Amino acid sequence: MSKLLVKGLHVSIEGKEILKGVDLSVRSGEVHAIMGPNGGGKSTLASALMGHPKYAITSGDVTLDGKSILALDASKRARAGIFLAFQYPQEVQGVSLESFLRMAYNAVHAKQISPLEFRPILEGKMALLGVDGAFAGRYLNDGFSGGEKKRAEILQMAVLEPKIAILDETDSGLDVTALQKVGEGICRIASETGAGCVIITHYERILRYVKPGFTHVMLGGRIVKSGGFELVSQIEKRGYDWLKQAQAPEERTSG
């Protein structure tokens, strides 16, 4: 049983404070959704958790299984068991998806398994997610549709089997069919591996397929409300304006 604990996290970018005291706890097998409008701090939280050097943590702590990860760089955090799926995956010509996944697997697990040894691992994960075998032979994200890029990241998540997976706007730019496939993939991985998942999104649409057990709303760099899946339905009906009163008085008066 693993646990990611974010406690009183303050994060600044170029001297400007973005996160203003975030508290969050995610355990193995739990699926959390973090919702909110643009500028609320959601993607900043994802990048800070993964150790992006641009984001300065000015106070607070982040622990994984009781140990602080703040001194670890992004690669060491990945080896510790944290995975981040980006909003805009990069294209890499000349490197097949299978080769990339094997390199990532070796880096995270501190192993040097051969392509022959890796193939059964990859085939098992593709079967779990219903991914065609030919998909792995294509260059990484080169010519991929939006849905294919996101499915490639979900496949990467399945291969790496992280303790905690952070999915930053995985639903961005996806049509209904792609949303369903990505959402079902997240559910299968969470069930199969027991990973804790944090889904960061503006909208409720991907959450219809994932149905998180925990929902949090970020406004002004803070989590202003938490609840269960029913909170997703409330946001769908009412938007975010009704939650602004939960912000600190100074945040409301400053606009």
**CA 153 – CA 167 distance, rounded (Å):** 9
Q: What is the enclosing helix (H) or strand (E) of 60?
A: strand 56-64
Q: What is the CATH number of domain 3-92+154-253?
A: 3.40.50.300
Mind listing the pLDDT tens digit for each residue in 186-227? 988 888 889 999 999 988 888 989 999 999 999 999 999 999
* CB-based contacts of 221, cutoff 8 Å, min separation 6: 17, 18, 19, 20, 21, 22, 40, 41, 44
Spatial contact of 51 and 89, defined as CB atoms under 8 Å apart:
no
- Give me the pLDDT at residue 226, please: 96
Q: What is the pTM of this model?
A: 0.87
- Give me the pLDDT at residue 86, please: 64
Question: Can you give the residue ranges of every domain in the chain?
Answer: 3-92+154-253
- Give me the pLDDT at residue 39, please: 87
- Give me the pLDDT at residue 243, please: 84
**CA 131 – CA 149 distance, rounded (Å):** 12
Pairing of strands 214-219, 31-35: parallel
255 residues of the chain, pLDDT tens digit each: 899 999 999 999 999 999 999 999 999 999 999 999 888 999 999 999 999 999 999 999 999 999 999 999 999 999 999 998 865 556 667 889 999 999 999 999 888 999 999 999 999 999 988 888 888 898 887 778 878 888 888 899 999 999 999 998 887 778 888 888 888 889 888 888 899 999 999 888 889 899 999 999 999 999 999 999 999 989 988 888 888 765 544 444 443
- Give me the pLDDT at residue 254, please: 40
- Give me the pLDDT at residue 38, please: 87
